[in-house]
A and B are shown apart, each in its own frame.
Chain A
Amino acid sequence: MSTRLTKALEFANYRVTLNNQQAQLKAKTQSLLSYSINGGTFTIDLTLITFCKQLIDNSQTEVVLLDIYNNPIKVDVESFYEEIISRYYEVTNNYYAEYEKLRKSRKVHKVLDLNEEGK
């Protein structure tokens, strides 16, 4: 096989590994952005964060929110907001750091954090 073809195949292998690793990172982030409270589960996203901030700005204290199952869950909106915003910062910052690390890795073993011997 020519060197050029070998190199192209190596790069294809690297891309497959990278794509899968990015998907894994997304899966981990999504699972960390799930928050359960008072018997309900919420996905922390921009809509939820903005809505809670809006409720606080409207001087609401105890509110009913619909969780991922569309069940009504009563929460204290201030403490709920504090919790989701801090989780959101923490998780997205980690996501960014790990994503950047992946983006800069140009070899399969670097994408996987292994040394060249695969250990």
Chain B
Amino acid sequence: MKKESNTRGVLMFAHNNTEIDYFRLAVVNALLVQKNLGIKNITVVTDPHSLAQGEKTLGKRLIKKAINNIVVVDKDIQFKAKNQRLYKDTSHTAKYLPFYNVNRCDAYDISPYDETILIDVDYLILSDTLNSCWGHNNELMMNWKFQDIMYERKDPSLNRLYDMGITMYWATVVYFRKTEYVESFFNIVKHVKDNPQYYKDLYKWHGTLYRNDFSFSIAAHVMSGFVDKGIPQLPTTLYKSFDTDDIHSAVDENTIVMYLEKPRSPGDFMLTKWQGVDIHIMNKWAINRVSEELLEYAK
């Protein structure tokens, strides 16, 4: 039987690196969550430096308005130095920067809610469709299917951990309830995070970068009884743009106009208006560039 006071909330992780202000993105997205999902319970996990930067540039008042629960944790400096990822601001600019994602496996322990939607800060909430997750029979849901918003572009390498490996789930949006099963799921995620070399040998993902998509996919495989695609998908489609794309402008709190790189013509773009559907924007600089406009619309 469900508890009478069932709490629901959104959880995000925001750790800045030298170039990308993830905390700012979290504030923007928190305001979009409030506006479009109508959810006030928002928890952001951050570190002292990212929070201080946010307070300096955005002000304590705005942060308080956007986020009602900030959890401050210390960073694992060694991991930060080791986990470097190639970030792109369109095909014209590429940089290796630290990618701090080590504590996402703690989402279950950190979340103060009975029902949580865990989202990336760059998964912009432009609609209320995620509200359909609340009270769902499935205690854990995440997507393995995604749709590039440039419909002609296809990248089959994103479908599996390696060509003949298990299906890749995206940890971009995860719905979970606090149950024993979900707790065990997150324990597996932590085990993968703590023993990456072992799991890399077993599941054969490419490269040295630690990605939550990998650890969540492996946990999904294990917790489904070693069955592929065993964890149900969210009732919403995961729409993605890539880091080779850019944002032209934010029109209002649920519309953005984007530059999408043409598939057969790198560095050349077409425009698209994206309205009323949540979207994962991989180009973080692009969101930061329109963050003032988004803050203004979502405030």
Residue numbers of A with Cβ under 8 A of B are 13, 16-17, 19-21, 23-24, 27-28, 30-32, 34-36, 39-41, 68-69, 71, 73, 108, 111-114, 118-119
Contact = CB atoms under 8 A, between A and B. Distances in A.
Interface string B217-243: 000000000000000100111010000
B129 to A, nearest CB: 5
A112 B274 contact: no
Given A24-B277, A112-B273, A31 B237 contact: yes
A30 B278 CA distance: 13
24 contacts: A16-B270, A20-B260, A20-B270, A20-B272, A24-B149, A24-B273, A24-B275, A24-B277, A27-B239, A28-B275, A31-B129, A31-B236, A32-B276, A36-B133, A36-B235, A40-B137, A41-B132, A41-B136, A69-B232, A108-B271, A111-B273, A112-B257, A113-B251, A119-B249
Contacts of A36: 132-133, 135-136, 235
B147 interface: yes
Interface residues of B, number: 32
Interface string B175-194: 00000000000000000000
Interface of B: 127, 129, 132-133, 135-138, 147, 149-152, 232, 235-237, 239, 248-249, 251, 257, 260, 262, 270-277
B236 A34 contact: yes
B228 to A, nearest CB: 16
B241 to A, nearest CB: 12
Given A36-B235, A39-B136, A68-B235, A31 B127 contact: yes
